[in-house]
Amino acid sequence: MKTITLPDELSLNSSMSIQIYDYESNQEISKQEIILNKNTFSFLQEGTKEVFFDNSSYSINNSQFLLMKSGHCLMTEKLSNNRKSYRSILFFFSDDAVLNFIRKFKLSQPTSGALYSTYSFDYDVFITRFANSLLDIIKLSKTSQKNILEVKFDEIMLYLIEFKGVDFLYSLISDRDNKNQKFIQLIESNKLNKLTIKELSFLSNRSVSSFKREFEKHFNNSPSKWFQDKRLEHSAFLLKNKSKRPSDIFEEIGYENLSNFIQAFKNKFGITPKQYQSH
């Protein structure tokens, strides 16, 4: 599957630091490799969307929208049940736009709090009106678009800060941790997501061989064995604390059939899932 670079492949004016695009499709995609060269609001209108980033993942419907930091992600888009379509209004903006906004409004950096690569927000009346107003701006001249979008950028950011604080804003321009910490956070954040080694390598911006070397350096184990252990440990938690049946969870844990799950569980814990539950 070809990696897609956005907004570069949308034939937008690359000289503009803030850009919008009304994206519509009747084709579903699954874990498409995406490189975002700008930070992006995805105002979902039709269908559902799932994204995986290095330290966060979300699955949303059209009652929510996403804010995504520039970088590598995996994206799934599914069509709406009624209209059989997918639609999202994309609002791209550069790091410079964020820095200028911070300077303009003299914002202070938060002293604590985790910073993530993506955030999910719920629509309200204001945000719905805001997203719809972007469609009218697309029809204007490039000069008018540029001037109005700078104002619209301030508008959406000021509104979100009022209710969410500034953490999400600073996450867009923060490199956060050193490379080792970022890699470890990527692994820990995705240990229960059923991502392939190739997909995880893409999220870490490494080749598969480089990813495996880095993984073994930090975790003293092969990726396949480490992830299997973590998912089996999670299955034990579900069996004991959530009263789940083995037949309810084997697919969630990443096994194609129940017998393979039972055998793997027994190899790790020495007893079958049912025996584990009864202890």
The string of pLDDT tens digits covering residues 89-129 is 999 999 999 999 999 999 998 877 788 999 999 999 999 99
Which range among 126-140, 195-209, 234-248 shows the weakest confidence by mean pLDDT?
Answer: 234-248
State pLDDT tens for residues 63-86.
999 999 999 999 999 999 988 999
Average pLDDT over residues 20-45: 97
Residue for token pair 């009022």: 162
d(CA 155, CA 153): 5
- What pLDDT does residue 279 have? 78
Angle, helices 246-253/258-269, rounded to nearest 10 degrees:
90
Q: In one letter, which amino acid is 212?
A: K
Res. 176: pLDDT tops 70: no
**What is the enclosing helix (H) or strand (E) of 41?**
strand 39-46
Q: Extract the tokens encoding 119.
A: 């955030």
Containing 180, the helix (H) or strand (E) segment is helix 179-189
Question: Which domains are present in the chain?
Answer: 4-171 (2.60.120.280), 179-278 (1.10.10.60)
Q: How far is CA 185 from CA 7, 75, 102, in A?
A: 27, 19, 27
Place of tokens 């204001």: 126
